[in-house]
């Protein structure tokens, strides 16, 4: 096999791994959209906020220390302890659940029945708010997430695959962190599907997604389900935040993964969990392959920013509801 | 007492269908125009022009443009930043290619070029609706920014990749370049805004505006009663992009002078203009003004209070500003989803009956 072809395969594998991470973010969107009809733009910022909180708790930072110092003229920064990773993750999860409750209690409970565009704008407002709160609480400098996840290329895979090609091929280069992320994301997706299919709360969640009024009439509390869904989205955001944060540091650009997840959603359909996964894989592989074959050699590179959107746009012209979305029926 | 239609008799159809049917409104309009054209230019200095007036006027044009598309025609667009970039780069290429032609013609032509680009990106709106369309317009945003970054022809092969406006004159006064006086900047933006607002107001009252609103309320029903959706949607995209292109050209040439595309016309700009439209009020020209004024003034006010009065560090105030803007947006949406324009409308209703509401 020629080396170019093998590199192509490597690109595809890396693309699929990136795609799994996109799918993970997209899942958070789908969960909330299905249950409440809210298109949650703040999902990316939630991932950033979760990662910031995790780092802050692990390092024992005092929340809002910057603000407190500016107002009272004090000079405090740290509690002086360090929290083990697992406990810190649990604490962060508690923070995300409190956040979910607050969002439901103070914002979206008052917006039930509004037009979708209004709800969407509210989530953009929420994104700004959360970004500001995250920066105020933990500071805006770039942080490293030291969870002890493996980093760097996998020698093992390189050694194993170097025999496929000729003398100029050294085996597939695959980041260990990407492999871990793929496994974690896959496990999380399976857990979510099991939760939605087989538990009482999961069934209630699906009932709400199907029909609000019918769910209400059989005694399901809409408020509880919405808090639950936002909490689940918080969990997904935490996992996505850990994976992306370990990869490129915890910083503002982390919140831009929301923009990566949008074309995935369009492609897969806003209401479909399998759609999010398949869409993520198609976008991940597609953008890496396009960059490798056409973007970098002919168009000057950095095509990844828009290619996913163009691909989704072309798909949508032929299937306006996405690959797996519910068929849109309009009546006069 | 003053604000009522009683006693203000109309004797012709023209008088009956004028923009401001109530006399108090008409007087108010002319007073504001007199102040804007006759008083402010003589009092304005560089700080007021650059911090408040010029950005307000330019954002108001962009907000009117987006309001036509989103508020009147119901097509949510997140590509405003990209279309503003088209206007800016078109203006730059025209200014450097035809240095003898007046800048005013360049700005209008830049709007025309943006209208063509906008209509092209509006084509998918015939099949894609709602949120799917909103996300699809992001394709325009990212693709256009990437294009202006990667193709050197657009920035005349300059080493920095930036574009900077050469000096141009209108009637002997510099309006672009480093030596522009504050009143000149202010006046050229004001003239463009006034003309744009008048055009927009009259378009939205006429046949074409009614067909946009029919499409917004329900496109299938509109099609059945004889509105051509192709024509309505594409004209909405074209007209909206025309205004946004003019705003982009002015933003680059008059306000900033030199532009790096990703920074000046990034996705943040799209959101900013969309916020202006939503906070101001969808489907209202007055709302575009109110929203632009609100979001231009808010950061300035917060900075004055936080940095100058309380002496807090700048980065802290910047973060607080995010929190406050976000919280205000949510608060507004909860309290009044139809924006400042609706508040103004309610106030006027109350005023008409004041002081004897029963």
The secondary structure of A60-81 as a DSSP string is TBPTTHHHHHHHH-----B-S-
Residue A133's domain is classified under what CATH number? 1.10.3470
Residue A111 lies in a domain: yes
Residue range A16-63, pLDDT digits in tens: 888 888 888 888 888 888 877 788 888 889 988 998 898 888 887 778
Query: What pLDDT, on the 0 to 100 scale, is given for residue A152?
Result: 65
- Tell me the two tokens of residue A69: 């110092």
Range in A79-93, A161-175, B220-234 the model is least confident about: A161-175
Q: Say what the pTM is.
A: 0.88
CA distances from A146 to A149, A245, B149 (A): 8, 10, 35
pLDDT category of residue A110 using cuts at 50, 70 and 90 = confident
Contact A131 B124 (CB under 8 A): no
Q: Which of A114, A125, A309 sits opposite B337 (nearest CB)?
A: A114
Query: What pLDDT, on the 0 to 100 scale, is given for residue B4?
Result: 76
CB pairs under 8 A between A and B: 140
Residue A189 lies in a domain: yes
Selection from A128-132, A224-228, A301-305, B108-112 with the highest mean pLDDT: B108-112
Query: What pLDDT, on the 0 to 100 scale, is given for residue B219?
Result: 86
HSE, side-chain direction, 13 A CA sphere, residue A208: 26
Query: What pLDDT, on the 0 to 100 scale, is given for residue B265?
Result: 92
Residue range B21-43, pLDDT digits in tens: 888 888 999 999 999 999 999 98
Tell whether B150 is within 8 A of chain A (Cβ).
yes
Q: Could you tell me which residue, A229 or A156, shows the higher pLDDT?
A: A229
Residue range B3-18, pLDDT digits in tens: 777 777 888 888 888 8
Residue range A207-222, pLDDT digits in tens: 887 788 888 899 888 8
Q: Which of B151, B218, B334 sits opposite A110 (nearest CB)?
A: B334
Total domains in the fold of chain A? 1
Contact B322 A116 (CB under 8 A): no
Residue A103 lies in a domain: yes
Query: What pLDDT, on the 0 to 100 scale, is given for residue B287?
Result: 93
pLDDT category of residue B93 using cuts at 50, 70 and 90 = very high
Residue range B158-206, pLDDT digits in tens: 888 888 888 888 888 888 877 888 899 999 999 999 999 999 999 999 9
Radius of gyration of chain B (CA): 21
Q: Which of B220, B328, B334 sits opposite A330 (nearest CB)?
A: B220
Query: What pLDDT, on the 0 to 100 scale, is given for residue A168?
Result: 59
Greatest CA separation found in chain B?
A: 70
Mean pLDDT of A279-299: 83
Q: At what angle do helices B267-280 and B285-303 cross, to 10 degrees?
A: 120
Q: To the nearest whole percent, how much of chain A has pLDDT over 70?
A: 89
Residue found under tokens 């990209």: B82
Domain of residue A280: give its range: 3-318
Mean pLDDT of A102-107: 90
Contact B322 A135 (CB under 8 A): yes
pLDDT over 80 (residue A172): no
- B-interface mutation test, from A141, A266, A270, A327, most B Cβ less than 10 A away: A266
In angstroms, rounded to a whole number, what is the distance separating the alpha carbons of residues B31 and B29? 5
Q: Which of B138, B224, B316 sits opposite A66 (nearest CB)?
A: B316
Contact A132 B134 (CB under 8 A): no
Tell whether A127 is within 8 A of chain B (Cβ).
yes
**What rounded mean pLDDT belongs to chain B?**
89
Mean pLDDT of B279-308: 89
Residues in B touching A122 (Cβ below 8 Å): 329-330, 333-334
Other CB atoms within 10 A of residue A177 CB: 19
């Amino acid at each position: 096999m020629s080396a170019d072809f093998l590199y192509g395969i490597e690109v595809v594998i890396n693309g699929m791994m990136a795609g799994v991470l996109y799918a993970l973010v997209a899942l958070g969107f789908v969960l909330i959209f299905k249950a409440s009809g809210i298109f949650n733009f703040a999902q990316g910022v939630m991932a950033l906020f979760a990662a910031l909180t995790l780092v802050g708790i692990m390092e024992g930072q005092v929340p809002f220390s910057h603000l407190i110092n500016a107002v009272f003229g004090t000079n405090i920064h740290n509690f002086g302890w360090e929290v083990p990773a697992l406990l810190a993750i649990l604490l962060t999860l508690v923070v995300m659940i409190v956040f979910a409750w607050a969002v439901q209690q103070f914002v979206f409970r008052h917006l039930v029945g509004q037009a979708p565009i209004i709800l969407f704008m509210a989530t953009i407002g929420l994104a700004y708010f959360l970004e500001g709160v995250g920066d105020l609480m933990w500071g805006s400098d770039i942080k490293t997430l030291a969870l002890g996840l493996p980093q760097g290329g996998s020698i093992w895979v390189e050694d194993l695959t170097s025999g496929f090609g000729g003398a100029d091929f050294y085996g597939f280069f695959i980041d260990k962190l990407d492999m871990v992320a793929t496994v974690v994301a896959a496990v999380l997706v399976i857990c979510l599907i099991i939760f939605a299919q087989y538990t009482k709360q999961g069934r209630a969640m699906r009932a709400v997604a199907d029909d609000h009024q019918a769910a209400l009439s059989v005694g399901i509390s809409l408020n509880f389900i919405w808090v639950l869904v936002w909490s689940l989205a918080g969990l997904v955001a935490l996992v996505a935040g850990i994976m992306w944060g370990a990869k490129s540091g915890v910083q503002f650009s982390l919140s831009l993964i929301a923009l990566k997840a949008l074309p995935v959603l369009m492609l897969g359909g806003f209401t479909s969990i399998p759609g999010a996964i398949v869409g993520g894989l198609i976008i991940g592989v597609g953008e890496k392959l396009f960059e490798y074959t056409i973007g970098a050699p002919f168009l000057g590179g950095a095509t990844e920013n828009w290619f996913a959107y163009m691909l989704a746009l072309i798909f949508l012209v032929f299937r306006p509801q996405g690959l797996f979305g519910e068929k849109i029926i309009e009546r006069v | 007492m003053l604000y009522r239609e009683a006693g203000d008799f109309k004797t012709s159809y023209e008088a009956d269908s004028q923009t401001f049917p109530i006399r108090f409104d008409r007087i108010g309009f002319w007073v504001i125009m007199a102040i804007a054209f006759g008083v402010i230019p003589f009092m304005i200095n560089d700080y007021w022009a650059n911090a408040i007036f010029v950005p307000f006027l330019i954002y108001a044009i962009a907000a009117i443009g987006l309001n036509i598309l989103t508020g009147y025609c119901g097509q949510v667009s997140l590509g405003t930043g990209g279309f503003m970039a088209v206007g800016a780069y078109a203006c730059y290429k025209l200014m450097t290619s035809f240095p003898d032609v007046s800048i005013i013609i360049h700005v209008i032509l830049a709007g025309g070029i943006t209208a063509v680009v906008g209509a092209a990106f509006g084509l998918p709106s015939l099949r894609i609706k709602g949120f799917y369309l909103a996300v699809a317009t992001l394709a325009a945003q990212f693709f256009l920014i990437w294009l202006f970054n990667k193709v050197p022809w657009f920035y005349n092969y300059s080493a920095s990749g930036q574009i900077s406006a050469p000096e141009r004159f209108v009637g002997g006064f510099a309006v672009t370049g480093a030596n522009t006086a504050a009143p000149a900047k202010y006046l050229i933006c004001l003239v463009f805004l006034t003309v744009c607002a008048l055009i927009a107001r009259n378009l939205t009252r006429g046949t074409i505006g009614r067909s946009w609103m029919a499409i917004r309320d329900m496109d299938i029903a509109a099609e059945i009663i004889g509105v051509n959706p192709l024509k309505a949607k594409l004209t909405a995209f074209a007209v909206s992009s025309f205004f946004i292109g003019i705003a982009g050209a002015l933003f680059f040439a008059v306000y900033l002078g030199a532009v790096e595309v990703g920074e000046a016309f990034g996705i943040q700009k799209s959101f900013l203009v969309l916020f202006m439209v939503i906070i101001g009020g969808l489907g209202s020209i007055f709302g575009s003004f109110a929203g632009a004024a609100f979001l231009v003034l808010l950061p300035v006010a917060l900075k004055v209070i936080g940095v100058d009065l309380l002496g807090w560090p700048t980065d802290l105030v910047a973060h607080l500003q995010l929190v406050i803007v976000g919280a205000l947006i949510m608060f507004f949406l909860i309290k009044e989803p139809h924006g400042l324009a609706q508040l103004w409308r309610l106030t006027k209703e109350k005023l008409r009956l004041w002081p004897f509401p029963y």
